[in-house]
Amino acid sequence: MAEETNTAGEGLLTSLKNLTSTLIALVYSRLDLLSTDLEEGRERLISLLISVFLSLFCLCFGVVLLAILVVVAFWDTHRLLTLSILTGAFLFTGTLLCIRAIHALKTMPRMFEASMAELIKDQQHITPNE
């Protein structure tokens, strides 16, 4: 009888060790996924910022040179009209690009979306169906 109690206690202890090991592995895999999400987000952000700054620099420099070229071409005849049209076009284009950027920021996918989906799956597997 004493051996049966001892064996049951060891079985319970082994079961608890296995459960703890499984929980640790689960937490580790979720933290690893979260870490991967953070790294991908950081790399995407850095790449995006570099691209945006370089493209803005090139576009601004090109637009200034184009504006100077157009004004010089019409210097003798319609310089004020040319400057007015170019200013209006630049302001209109800048406004449209600003609206587009705001829309892109609002529709950007959530951070940690994959991690959250996996945690929801885990919760559904753990929680009994009602």
Give 44-72 pLDDT, tens digit per residue. Answer: 888 888 888 888 888 888 888 888 888 88
Phi-psi region of 112 (alpha: psi -120 to 50; beta: other; left: phi over 0): left
pTM of the model: 0.47
**Cβ distance 112 to 37 under 8 Å?**
yes
Taking the CA of residue 112 as centre, how many other CA atoms within 13 Å lie in the half-sphere pointing to its CB? 10
pLDDT of residue 4: 55
pLDDT digits (tens, 9 = 90+) for 31-44: 888 888 888 888 88
Amino acid at 101: A
All structural domains of the chain with their residue ranges: 2-126
CA distance 35 to 115: 9
